[in-house]
Structure 1
Amino acid sequence: MALDNKPPESQKLQGAADSMLATKPEGNESSVDDQADISSEEDFSDVDEKKVLRKMDLRLIPMLALLYLLSFLDRGNIGNARIEGLEKDLNLRGSQYNWCYSFQYPIEETEAINLYGRISPLHLCSRGANASGQDLPSIMIAWGTVMTLMGLVKNYKGLLIARIFLGVAEAGLYPGCAYYITMWYCSKEGQLRQALFFSAASIAGAFSGLLAFAIAKMHGVGGLEGWRWIFILEGLATVLVAIMAFFTIYDFPETASFFTERERAFVIHRLKPKLSSGIRGRNRNLLEYSLINASVLGYRLPAVPVYCTAAIIAIGSAWVADKRGQRSPFILFYMSCMAIGFIICIASAGRGLPGVVYAGVFIAVCGLYPAFPGNITWLSSNLAGSYKRATGMAIQIGIGNLSGAMASNFYRPGDAPKYYTGHGLQLAFVTTGIISVLILRFSYQRINKKRDLEGTGDLSEQQLADMGDKSPGFRYSL
């Protein structure tokens, strides 16, 4: 169970955080947080780093993955409910279903930007007790309650209003979880954990249809249609997990009871630079990061083999990327795979080659899942300071996820069976994302070279720390 009191030693370490932000990192991964051990004279050779990481992995990642799995499950189960008769029973006409499906996304992501761009960073940067650990299960209870009540709607207006409230309730979950990971792990370890967490969506996508099919067999129980039971039972499951999460999610390393005192000091030591709130200036290149997100988040296919394969590739690729300390080459490769997949779909559509079309879709989805956690980790590595990182990640994810609202209308029934419009729009998005990756990499390379030549001048360590990622001593991750 998470502890509520902030230990005295973390207050002492907090004061040293800002001065360490100016440290120039070595190696490929250039975010400052990985190099805390280089700039400190404190010796932690007696601490087994691998053992500490295993502790964190076992205590943090499974619960975060479960939260996101349920979120993804609840968000997408309206499609399964439609198959089981929702549209007919609520007498939906024309584009009313599409409005109910897609209207959640702009509400959700706008609210996410508001939450993590203004409120949560204040709490997270002050690192008060229960600032993050208790927020996540609270979010779960809110959306689980809305999901349960959605099983009682009587008409289009009721369904639309419920979806709006679901978007508001779910808004902070993904940005919150993604940011929460950055407050425990260094950037050199971040992508693997982001991939493990994000891959929960693959599991939900693979098996949500089977689960909904089984639940729908309750049609007539209590006088309710089967699709209503999908909402009710999945919503109740979310609430139950949320209650459990209050006792299993830890706030921050300094309040984690599963560490020994020495391990706790070591983890805080590794993350000292991340404890600083940093400068609140303009976040560089957020548009490009958001476009990359938009290009990889707009495609969904309920096929078990595809999602299971994509999850394995995402985790394996993240492991390699962390070892190499590189982000953009992997993102570029997998986005190119997505582009190839959609080109195959376009070239083979309507030619009586369903196997080839499926292969194209398979390749596209297998490129999607490794690219997304890579992009999230890349941004978090290149924003120094808690405030900027929290705000930047919220904006990145928020704007990027708006593609979900658009993508739901890409594949229109009238375009069957070729779906040239849908495949073409997806290809255009991916192409835009590839260009954005190249712009970011070349921009960062130019800035890093310029800073290598100019040096830090006569600026003090505190001045360099206050500048965050704009410091001449900071090097952007490539």
Structure 2
Amino acid sequence: MATQTQDIEREFSRDEKSGVMHNEHAQNGLSQEDADFLNNFPEERKKAIIRKVDWRLIPMLVLLYLIAYLDKTNIGNAKIEGMTVDLHLKGIEYNIVTAIFFIPFVLCEVPSNMILHKFKRPSWYMGGIVFCWGVVMTLTALVQNYAGLLAIRFLLGIFEAGFLPGAILIISNWYLPNETQTRIAILYTSAATGGAFSGLLAFAIAKMDGMAGLEGWRWIFLIEGLFTVVVAIMCVFLLCDSPALSTRWLDADEIRYLELRQLARRATVPMDYKENDHFNLRLFKDILMDYKIWLLFFANWSNAVPNYAMKFTMPTILTGMGYTSSDAQLMTIPPYAIGAISAYLFAIFADKYSWRAPFILGPQCCLVVAFIILFVKSSNIDDNIAVCYFAVCLACFGMYPILPGVNAWNVANTPDPAKRSVNIGLLVCVGNIGGLIGSYIYLAREAPRYPTGYGTSLAFGLAGVVAVLLLETLLKRGNAKKAKMTEEEIRQRYTDDELVRMGEKSPLFKYALRIFHLSPFSFADSPSQILTTLLVYSQNVVAMAPNPDVTTRAQQVLEAWSQGFNVGAVIILLLLVLCNYRKNTLLHKLILGELLLALGHGFFCFFDEPAYGWVLSSTATVLYISYFIHNLIAWLKIRPFLPKWGARIFIITLLIVQPYWVLETWANFQYHNHLGSKIFNTSRLLEPLFRDPWWVFTTIKLVLAINENYEFTIPGLIRTSPRFGIMLFSLFLSIVFLITDVIFMIAVSKRGGINPFWRLALVFKCASDVIFLDDFKSVLDRISESAMRKITTFEYRDNASPSVNQHTSVDFSSPNFQRKSSRFGSSSRAEMGSILHPVGSRDDGHYEFASNYSQASVEDGAARPWLEDDTRRSSSHSPRRRGESQDNMITIQEVHMP
């Protein structure tokens, strides 16, 4: 597959991977000799060079970022060790000390990057600023008063300002745009490690309290400052400068390759052309008038504002959910871990497909959903702790990939190095301004609801979504406008010098949008248009591949869309299960196992031949196991509605067909590892027959059971429980995509191509399992009984006199009064216990019921109908209740008037 992909790459241009690097590099500022060298450079050597750069550059930048994070945040550790007491800080003086750091930190980021751009030896500049802030950090140990601490923090902000934008600029000078986001994500997420390491290190150093007459907090600044100075000296010698200055570890061909690919990326800019590579008023005017940078500001704020807000207040938020202070500190670890993993995974996908927008939009949508949940559920946080904690994890999952994606997008669409250095500084600067906003939106007086904090974060998240959609649309139109002229017409109309001066406005420069030029979708399309386009496009994809063993570029587009949807959806479903997981429940274990196995098949696309075939066939085996578990889950869910012989036939037939899946595993392995067997072409057609009849039967039997055993109709059930309606809709979609899968599978087997519809069917089948984690009968019983409680409560409330505070005793003569059939057990009387109070003993069946019981309480009880009650155990022994009616309806026995 890798060989096929390389062949296809010669036929298509790849905007982000090389700017406007088309087949003929000689037309992009390269001589014919250089173009031939770049085109014919061995693929294995390319990968080896990038790995070598990774190991030389990234670890040093990560170490420097960790130190920057430690030195910026260790003042909080010093406070714990008594700094504020020793320096006699009063009132808000400590807050002013922490805030003053950000003033120069924000103001100096752009000028610092401008200076770095002019340095021939970045290692000297970066080593110099690290050395300066290390000295400042060391001198903090000598501070004696408030004024001295203010001055020290101000100087620290000046010197630390240049590091992060400088690190991103260095990465952009070494890597192509489609390689940057992964490296930026590694750098960005290393701060989480720094946060964990900061407290541990400070705790250890503070044990030196009293040594040499110094307090423990002074030792923190002294030792961490001296360590920073040592690392700064190392930085001068170890940080990579440029390929031309790296002759100690790169040979001549490697240096030439790294330089030429950066040159080709810059689109028609000759290697010796420097006139446009400087700062002037025209450059700054161009930046300020550029719509792209302003839209990226809003996209960046969708990360910065919620991120800083959560970083500053997450322990407080978790404490408000009911966790103790120590538990709240521990509970911050999973969200940050999830955020770090998501940043890295989204970066891998974005770099692999060289497309930024969907891998920013996806996390932004997760972020928006998370803050909607928090905004709505925080009003009753005690009853929604699991949901709110899930939302916190989802927020971190969505926040962390945004900043690396935005910076990589900026790098990809800014070929001019001078403009790129300023843009990077501006993005980091604006992000820190967003951090200042975020630090003031979670107000202590609003705890634990925080409507201002959640609402503001939600607003910035939505603004980021709009900004990314708008930017993608405008860039697409810009490329379409440039494509109206052929390259020959452009060459006739403009001279090379004019094209150079035009920079990214040159008709030859194409904005980086996606790896492929064959995308069938538009963000302006309606869902119906997208579905229609997908169907037509799938047919075209099939028609494009006369050889089933050849994967075309268009098919890879379809594979990327469907695979991304599959993996993302399963991850979200997995998180939902974990938030509601009960370890002693078999169904929960099976559903969790099903999702983990299905997820395992989602990452085979990261591999190339020969590992690709091995990984794909191996993970397909676990996917087949997940099919069996899914049908087993269906059996457990529908079994209460089946007679014994029906349940036995269901499970026996399911077990009988399993040998087919053994054959399918072998056929899959033979096919994808090119071992000569073509059995898979036939056996694949039989998969739906051996996989889905049990699931279709379960769906049909569920609908019939509802009509046979319950008073409500399907529409009435959906009105009563929209959640159940969503599950039915998922069942319906799974069957629709199952049928579509069969149709397209027949076409693919005959004509070759990619069939994405089995993935859509899989996602909706998994979703129907996750929406309710219990069997269907238990779910329907709870819905029925909850609805009956509300009806009974509201009927009595409407008939009672509002001016009289009265209590009414009611009897429940039958536990299954709301069903057509009484052959199923019930716990309705027990579950009424949440709104009824017993009069006398629990066993006499006599309850009293307050007329002034609030609707909120009723709804709260309805939300937890599975609460256990001792009456469940005693109902079978209770005597016949007084005045029991023959039609099993509730009877009012007496009214107690005050």
Residue of structure 2 aligned with 1:377, choices 405, 408, 415 = 408
Report Cα offsets for 1:391-439 as digits up to 9, x if no partner: 1111121122222223223334333333332232222222222222122
**Corresponding residue for residue 293 of structure 1:** 300
Residue of structure 1 aligned with 2:41, choices 45, 48, 62 = 45
Mapping of residues 147-186 of structure 1, within 5 Å: 147-186=137-176
Matched, 1:358 2:389: yes
Q: Structure 1 residue 201: deviation in Å?
A: 1.3
Q: One-letter code of the match for 2:301?
A: A
Q: Which moved more, 1:30-39 or 1:208-217?
A: 30-39
- Normalising to structure 2: TM-score of the pair? 0.47
Q: Structure 1 residue 90: deviation in Å?
A: 3.0
Structure 2 distance, partners of 1:36, 1:259, is: 26
Structure 1 distance, partners of 2:186, 2:400, is: 11
**Corresponding residue for residue 433 of structure 2:** 402
| 1:397/1:213 CA distance change after superposition, 3 Å | same
Q: Structure 1 residue 62: deviation in Å?
A: 0.3
Q: Structure 1 residue 202: deviation in Å?
A: 2.1
| 1:150/1:266 CA distance change after superposition, 3 Å | same
| 1:354/1:218 CA distance change after superposition, 3 Å | farther
Mapping of residues 45-444 of structure 1, within 5 Å: 45-46=41-42, 48-117=45-114, 119-121=115-117, 123-124=118-119, 128=120, 130=121, 132-256=122-246, 257-273=248-264, 274=266, 278=276, 281=283, 282-283=286-287, 284=290, 285-298=292-305, 299=307, 300=311, 301=314, 303-349=332-378, 351-352=381-382, 353-444=384-475
Q: Which moved more, 1:76-85 or 1:442-451?
A: 76-85
Do 1:207 and 1:304's aligned partners in 2 also have CA atoms closer than 8 Å? no
Do 2:243 and 2:255's aligned partners in 1 also have CA atoms closer than 8 Å? yes
Do 1:382 and 1:476's aligned partners in 2 also have CA atoms closer than 8 Å? yes
| 1:103/1:397 CA distance change after superposition, 3 Å | same
Q: Which moved more, 1:332-341 or 1:221-230?
A: 221-230
**3-state DSSP class of the match of 1:140?**
helix
Q: Which moved more, 1:435-444 or 1:80-89?
A: 80-89
Do 1:326 and 1:477's aligned partners in 2 also have CA atoms closer than 8 Å? yes
**3-state DSSP class of the match of 1:154?**
coil
| 1:67/1:227 CA distance change after superposition, 3 Å | same
Do 1:31 and 1:381's aligned partners in 2 also have CA atoms closer than 8 Å? no
Do 1:145 and 1:239's aligned partners in 2 also have CA atoms closer than 8 Å? yes
Which segments of 5 or more consecutive residues in structure 2 lack a partner in the other structure?
1-11, 27-34, 315-328, 514-898
Do 1:30 and 1:476's aligned partners in 2 also have CA atoms closer than 8 Å? no
- Normalising to structure 1: TM-score of the pair? 0.86
Structure 1 distance, partners of 2:77, 2:450, is: 22
| 1:324/1:218 CA distance change after superposition, 3 Å | same
Structure 2 distance, partners of 1:33, 1:147, is: 46
Structure with larger Rg: 2
**Corresponding residue for residue 496 of structure 2:** 461
Structure 2 distance, partners of 1:258, 1:49, is: 15
Report Cα offsets for 1:258-281 as digits up to 9, x if no partner: 111111111111111446654764
Do 1:65 and 1:200's aligned partners in 2 also have CA atoms closer than 8 Å? yes
| 1:365/1:80 CA distance change after superposition, 3 Å | farther
| 1:384/1:267 CA distance change after superposition, 3 Å | same
Do 1:31 and 1:474's aligned partners in 2 also have CA atoms closer than 8 Å? no
| 1:154/1:111 CA distance change after superposition, 3 Å | same
Do 2:205 and 2:220's aligned partners in 1 also have CA atoms closer than 8 Å? yes
Matched, 1:452 2:483: yes
Report Cα offsets for 1:12-62 as digits up to 9, x if no partner: xxxxxxxxxxxxx92362761766984423254347111001100000000
Structure 2 distance, partners of 1:414, 1:214, is: 35
Q: Structure 1 residue 187: deviation in Å?
A: 0.8
Q: One-letter code of the match for 2:410?
A: L
Q: Structure 1 residue 166: deviation in Å?
A: 0.7
**3-state DSSP class of the match of 2:368?**
helix
Q: Structure 1 residue 372: deviation in Å?
A: 0.7
Report Cα offsets for 1:70-91 as digits up to 9, x if no partner: 1112112222333333334333
Greater relative contact order, per chain length (Cα 8 Å cut-off, separation 6+): 1
Do 2:113 and 2:425's aligned partners in 1 also have CA atoms closer than 8 Å? yes
Cα RMSD of the aligned pairs, angstroms, is 2.4
Which segments of 5 or more consecutive residues in structure 1 lack a partner in the other structure?
1-24
Do 1:98 and 1:409's aligned partners in 2 also have CA atoms closer than 8 Å? no
Q: Structure 1 residue 371: deviation in Å?
A: 1.1
Do 1:338 and 1:363's aligned partners in 2 also have CA atoms closer than 8 Å? yes
